[in-house]
Amino acid sequence: MSGRALEGLDDEQRVAAATLRGPVCVLAGAGTGKTRVITHRIAHGVDTGAYSPSRVMAVTFTAKAAGEMRGRLRALGVEGVAARTFHATALAQLNFFWPQLARDTAPSIIDNKVRVLGQAADSLGLRLDGTTLRDVASRIEWRKVAMRTIDQDAAAHPEGLGAALDASALADLQRRYEKVKDERRQLDFEDVLLACAGMLESEPRVAAAVHEQYRHLTVDEFQDVSPVQHRLLELWLGDRRDLCVVGDASQTIYSFAGADPRYLLEFPDRYEDATVVRLERNYRSDPAILGVANALTRGRPGALVLRSDRSTGPVPSVTAYDDDQAEADGVAAAVAAQLASGIEPNEIAVLYRANAQSAPVLSALASRGIAATVLGGKRFFDLPEVRQAVSLLRGASVAPTADGLVRAVRDVLRSVGLTDDPPPAGGALRDAWEARAAVLRLAEQAPEDTTLRAFTDELILRGRSQHEPTLRTVTLATLHAAKGLEWDHVHLLGLAEGLLPISYATGFDEIDEERRLAYVGVTRAARTLSMSWSERSGSRPRQRSRFLQEIGTGTVRAGDAHAMSAGRARR
């Protein structure tokens, strides 16, 4: 167990990275370095000659994660690995093989399922509102990732969509939707996986070509695999066993999208000779924060017990507020105090269960002059001001720049509105200013001899790989959007019954998923964690979340809402 790629790994990580053959299952808790293990394992395989980069397929769930994986592999001197999402991999194979099989180009991908559904509904004489059409789209997505036919779905859900659409009408609408797509030679997002799986199953020469091309498969976030993705993975693998899966059952938060953690939990049963490695040494969070995380998942299937070698930091706090507005004000006051102490805004996050919870916090932050960014909006490189900046910088790069990169970039950005001092927080002008300032910081971080042309080329490459810069703002995000990210300081609000767990989570499995969402939120924090809830929403009383009861008073301390209010009054 030697080699350049194994250097700097802990004992458990090294075992995972050095096991290059046969089925491997890495159970990787939050903050334990799973991406590091995946990339170092591939690099070690290449270094030792066990792998050829072009024969490796590394599959993940987001384009951002795939881009990060490719970047880390490049840093390790490995180029040519097919690191893509499930959908990107399947689409690439469809586009390559379809012309050979059908003597025609592959079907196009529809960009708006709801619009096509609306047209299908119109042709049936159905008048459905946007909400109902979105519900139908969700049902179609669920049916396809679960690999069910329309008739099977109707039998499983005889209630249809309730008063909006009975089961028979729902089935008819789905059939018409499929017919419209077929007539237009179109596929939807889920069809890409189904069509690729169908092609591999029905065309032995295609399956043989894929098996010849890709000898070594790695799957990240394996707890999020759906039935159709798992079937596609089986077809990519064929009768071989060189498969490495990495995941954490405690971070399964996409069951609504078909994620099934049983594929991860039952992997050692499926492959009795599998090497199973447990990564439980957390490199992100202080031990006190891990105490909260471990309390949440204690006794749950597949739960890992996270530990840290760091010295214990501040004990996480739980604060009860009178109402929602008081909670938003209290969290904003706590953020303001952190900023006043010298903490950078991009090191702070406010997390919550539902998007609607962001509005009062945004307002409370803006009233204190604190800029914030809500995750889940447009990607950085798709922002109009960023696209404009890249275009102008590209145009300016044709002429030599005598005053250096930073001066050239600053001059271009000033021409479109970047000022030395930011506008007031809470509006579109401030958001645009923060985006342009982030572009300037990228120039300031570039090597001294970087040309403007090379800088703009790098910006375009970062945009394609979704390698986005960090905005110097406080981050607001839902727990789903926060997965995979981390901040030094996290404020987790809304820990009340009806919010976390959400009101419509009633069954055991649904509550368990809400618990995993809380776990994801807790494990985003590195240095400090504050949790809060409000005792009233308008005139309606609330109860503290059952998850706070599970954490227990021995793991957290009580926050002082009155002290925060007094501090707010002095500002």
- The answer to whether residues 372 and 478 belong to one domain is yes
- The answer to whether residues 322 and 407 belong to one domain is no
**Of the candidates 432, 443, 462, 431, which has an alpha carbon nearest to the alpha carbon of residue 396?**
443
> Is 376 within any annotated ligand binding site?
no
Is residue 206 in a domain? Answer: no
- The answer to whether residues 240 and 253 belong to one domain is yes
Alpha helix ranges (H) inside 103-226: 113-123, 130-145, 150-156, 167-184, 189-202, 204-213
CA distance 154 to 109: 26
CA distance 336 to 339: 5
Phi, psi angles (nearest 5°) of residue 474:
-70, 140
Task: Show the 3-state SS of 268-281.
Answer: HHHCCCCEEEEECE
Kindly compute the dihedral angle of the four CA atoms of residues 324, 423, 437, 352, in this order, to the nearest 10 degrees.
0
Is residue 346 in a domain? Answer: yes
- The answer to whether residues 358 and 405 belong to one domain is no
Amino acid, single-letter form, for residue 12:
E
Of 164, 184, 204, which residue is a domain's last?
184
Phi, psi angles (nearest 5°) of residue 139:
-65, -40
Give the number of domains in the chain: 4
- The answer to whether residues 219 and 345 belong to one domain is no
Q: Which residue has the tokens 């109707």?
A: 154
At 382-438, the pLDDT tens digits run 888 888 888 989 888 877 776 788 888 988 998 888 888 888 876 778 888 888 888
pTM: 0.84
Is residue 222 in a domain? Answer: yes
Burial degree of 547 (CB within 10 A; 0-12, 13-18, 19+): buried
Structural domain for 140, as ranges: 108-184
The per-residue pLDDT for 571 is: 35
> Is 456 within any annotated ligand binding site?
no
Q: What average pLDDT score do residues 347-360 get? A: 92
> Is 30 within any annotated ligand binding site?
yes
Interhelix angle 130-145/113-123, nearest 10 degrees: 110
Average pLDDT, the chain: 89
Contact 452, 409 (CB under 8 A): yes
Is residue 205 in a domain? Answer: no
CB under 8 Å to 473, separation ≥6 — which residues?
Answer: 345, 346, 371, 372, 373, 434
Burial degree of 538 (CB within 10 A; 0-12, 13-18, 19+): exposed
CB under 8 Å to 553, separation ≥6 — which residues?
Answer: none
Contact 283, 552 (CB under 8 A): no
At 429-469, the pLDDT tens digits run 888 888 888 888 888 888 888 888 888 888 888 787 667 77
> Is 45 within any annotated ligand binding site?
no
> Is 35 within any annotated ligand binding site?
yes
Is residue 200 in a domain? Answer: no
> Is 8 within any annotated ligand binding site?
no
What is the DSSP track for 4-63? GGGTT--HHHHHHHH--SS-EEEEE-TTS-HHHHHHHHHHHHHHTTS--GGGEEEEES-H
The per-residue pLDDT for 127 is: 87
**Of the candidates 86, 71, 81, 11, which has an alpha carbon nearest to the alpha carbon of residue 35?**
71
Is residue 244 in a domain? Answer: yes
- The answer to whether residues 254 and 300 belong to one domain is no
The per-residue pLDDT for 568 is: 39
At 98-157, the pLDDT tens digits run 998 888 888 999 988 999 999 999 999 888 888 889 889 988 998 999 999 999 988 888
> Is 34 within any annotated ligand binding site?
yes
557 three-state secondary structure = strand
Contact 525, 299 (CB under 8 A): no
Of 441, 465, 489, which residue is a domain's last?
465
Is residue 208 in a domain? Answer: no
- The answer to whether residues 499 and 354 belong to one domain is yes
- The answer to whether residues 368 and 409 belong to one domain is no
Of 233, 250, 281, which residue is a domain's last?
281
**Of the candidates 287, 298, 302, 279, which has an alpha carbon nearest to the alpha carbon of residue 223?**
302
487 three-state secondary structure = strand
> Is 252 within any annotated ligand binding site?
no
